[in-house]
Amino acid sequence: MKRAALYLRVSTVDQHPETQLHDLRQMASQRGFQIVAEFTDRISGTKAKRPGLGQLMTGARRGQFDIVLVWASDRIARSTRHFLEVLDELNRFNIEFVSFREQIDTGGPLGRALVVIIGAIAELERNLIVERVRAGMRRAKLEGRHIGRPALSLDREAILRDRQSGHSLGLLARNYNTSRATIHRLLNEQAPASTENVA
């Protein structure tokens, strides 16, 4: 018997998930699934952080169930892209996905084909993001713009003098607008070696 997790979401506190719950429990019963967990969010689908969805994905990573049942795909994801990411992640954990309204079932041959397509789209999207970042870095380099953090320009001699005058690391860090760790590292660096040849 497959272990099933139900995920329900309603947009506001005024709505009730009972309709979704009834349909999903009935579907689980008809298909012979054992419901081992139910997760509910009362929050807008556009919100990235949803406690119920987070708990569902944690359970998926721990292998607590074999299949996820939702009333509709838009209940689980805030966008098509997010839906593809969730489905791709569930597939990596060998967890099937069933949507009541759209009749999506990744346990059957058509559903498995859908997962392959979704996985390819998700991978393509990740590659496109990487390529866009690289293109942006190349463009910035060609335009002579610095990439990454600005280089620190600290007067080591002045810091050494202030330290010898009794300034604390915290005070030095504040005065030179940097971290205590940077001040500590700078103070412990060896002074530049002399370029003169020793006879």
Domain parsing of the chain, residue ranges = 3-123, 156-188
Average pLDDT, the chain: 82
Active site residues: 11
pTM of the model: 0.57
Q: Say whether 110 sits in a helix, a strand or coil.
A: helix
How far, in Å, are 114, 157, 190 from residue 196 at the CA level?
71, 20, 17
Q: At what angle do helices 109-142 and 80-92 cross, to 10 degrees?
A: 120
Mention every residue, 6+ apart, whose C-beta is less than 8 A from residue 46.
Answer: 78
Cα(6)–Cα(24) distance, integer angstroms:
7
Element (H, E) at 66: none
Reported as a single tens digit per residue, the pLDDT across 13-37 is 557 788 889 999 999 999 999 999 9
Task: Indicate the CATH number of 3-123 among 3.40.50.620, 2.60.120.560, 2.60.40.10, 3.40.50.1390.
Answer: 3.40.50.1390
pLDDT at 195: 43
Q: Residue 6: is its pLDDT beyond 80?
A: yes
